[in-house]
A and B are shown apart, each in its own frame.
Chain A
Amino acid sequence: MKTRIHERFTALREAGELGIVAYITAGDPSLDATLKFVLALAEAGADVIELGVPFSDPLADGPTIQRASERALKSGTTLVGVLDLVRRIRQSSRIPLVLFGYYNPILQMGLEKFAGTAEAVGADGVLATDLPPEESNDYRRILGAHHLDTIFLGAPTSTNERLANIAMCSSGFLYLISRTGVTGAKDHLPDDLPSLLRRARATTQLPLAVGFGISLPGHVSVLGGLAEAAVVGSALVAQIEKATKAGPTAGAIDSAAVALAEKVGALKQAARHGLSRREVAP
């Protein structure tokens, strides 16, 4: 199975470049705004977009994405609406799209209906934060049948044996959580991150994307040569929050799009000129 995600990581590998995976919450502050943001992010060099499907109880998320989910739900965002947004994005962009959220909305739509629609509108992968591999047999079978990548999380607390199993259940890429904790921008990457990356590398050929706490070009530089991609989420969502603070006017949304593009542009630049593996190897 060759999804757009696979193709993008292949191209990144050939270019020797670290990928930037950009997360924003769909529907924050509206689905129309998200459409603009995604196109701006793609234009600015994002390699993969994670579209957050808002959930009422985002227990793996820190305050920034919690507030974004609340705003998105308040604006009437549903899973059906997010799938339709994917369809609209596909009218003008081939950027790989991952639906990122919690399991219950998917389960309530029904796995078959969800996977069929996601495939039809042009989504590439799905990550359900609160669905570990152990509970995912039906989910993987049905999403796989619809040519959707199933992306699972690896964590610093995961044993080597679990990492191997998580990698076996994953396609597209493996998403490694940099630290024990919730989503949210942090100043420093944790010291044990290289060890987690080494352990994951030993179990799988899949591209490794590192997320949770990535916000600065410096973080991205350090990851060059260690991982295949850096995921940036809360730092982008915070830009949207800041720009639309006084209300989601057309002007505010335009300036949010500009701010997102600048942020991702800076990260992409750091990714292109990152330190080589040799320079950061212990």
Chain B
Amino acid sequence: MFGAEEIRKSMSTILQSPTTAPGRFGPYGGRYVPETLMVPLFELERAYETAKADASFQAQFQNLLANFAGRPTPLQFAARLTEKLGGPRIYLKREDLLHTGAHKINNAIGQGLLAVKMGKPRIIAETGAGQHGVASATVAAHLGLECVVHMGTEDMARQALNVARMRMLGAEVVAVDSGSRTLKDAINEAMRDWVTNVRTTHYLLGSVLGAHPYPTMVRDFQAVIGREAREQILAAEKRLPTHLFACVGGGSNSIGLFHQFLGDPQVKMIGIEAGGRGGQLGEHAARLAAHQGFVGARPGVLQGTYTYVLQNEDGQIATTHSISAGLDYPAIGPEHAWLADQRRAEYSAVSDQAALDAARLLSRTQGIIPALESAHAIAGLVERLPKLTKNDLVILNLSGRGDKDMDTYSRLL
């Protein structure tokens, strides 16, 4: 393995299969962790495979999704937004209506049940925007598990409401004051906690990141978004959508929406990354938007997985900037890297300002205040309007609500 080109060449014979080895998406993914975590990862993989085939586990999962989280979520036609933009018909997948306010609860329920099944009394989580931390704390309280959430101090300041929610739910929030004091550093600290307490602790990772089986398992727990959306759009419009839009930090809400449509080649998938303040390294969190001038992303290994990573020439991981704490991360889920290489999904980035404008637009046309993360998806749709027609049919994943971002909105709008 030398770099993306060499790997692509060496993988050319297996480019056709979606997953080439367990935990691999083409050349991406894998398991790059200290030895102490290898056996726990195998145990987790086995527990997950068993649970997947276990009817009682699935029944518990479905029951909590329905009665605790509030699934299915509506697929709502956005009439005034559609009219205002004057292009495609736009539907919103309303993950913002879920308990705790974002899609993160889907995965937290799945992994929480798995922790119980594995007999681990303690869960730990990392969080950026705080939505995954809140979801983890919520599920831990519901299932009677101890919960510790690692969170960067920069994120604790900008998502103070979610810090208070986690504490209200009985979770311990550990302030991470190293590095850029954001999501990446919270994951480092969570991994240090895990490697130390691995015998009693399940690491409830919140996105399609990290070592195998996490990217696959988290995707599977989030795939309910696309399964519902596919049925709902067929019922409402009698046809498949032409475009899917979702924001991409690690990439769990987007892969959750995309996955059920991977076999429908006519459905275009667009992942929107955080363009921050500009294209220079350190100013953005765009891993797959080099075509727009966002520099610094190359395949590399970070926090357990091989994927596109923002880094300097020497392989040191770059700091990132985004107004959205949930997208402020230097690597992207390995399956997205593979979908991008194959051109099955497209990725582009929008600026902090475009996301703010889009948040105001959605609030005033639809009466929905979106999370800053989801506002990126809306901005991505707005920027792509010139390429869309009235015949196009869009599903946009509204992954979270904006309560947590009110400080930022009231300061900047």
Contacts and interface: CB of A to CB of B under 8 A. Distances in A.
A130 B195 contact: no
B391 interface: no
Contacts of A62: 192
A80 B192 contact: no
B179 to A, nearest CB: 7
Contact of A103 (B40, B298, B301): B301
Interface stretch (B106-114, B314-322, B347-355, B368-376): B314-322
A180 B198 contact: yes
B308 to A, nearest CB: 12
Interface in B181-216: 184-185, 187-188, 191-192, 195-199
Contact of B35 (A58, A66, A112, A177): A177
A157 B40 contact: yes
Interface residues of B, number: 40
B128 to A, nearest CB: 15
Contacts of B188: 57-59
Contacts of B37: 157
A78 B303 contact: no
A194 interface: no
Contacts of A162: 35, 38-39
Which of A70, A132, A156 has the most C-beta atoms of chain B within 10 angstroms of its own C-beta? A132
The binding surface of chain B is classed by DSSP as mixed
A155 B316 contact: no
Interface in A141-199: 152-159, 162, 166, 177, 180-182
Given A110-B3, A111-B1, A105 B315 contact: yes
Interface of A: 55-62, 66, 70, 73, 78-80, 102-112, 129-132, 134-135, 138-139, 152-159, 162, 166, 177, 180-182
Interface of B: 1-3, 30-40, 178-179, 184-185, 187-188, 191-192, 195-199, 298, 300-304, 309, 311, 313-317
12 contacts: A66-B178, A80-B314, A130-B33, A134-B38, A155-B34, A155-B39, A157-B35, A158-B39, A180-B195, A180-B199, A181-B36, A182-B196
Closest A-B pairs by Cβ, 6 of them: A108-B315, A105-B315, A155-B36, A181-B196, A153-B35, A155-B35
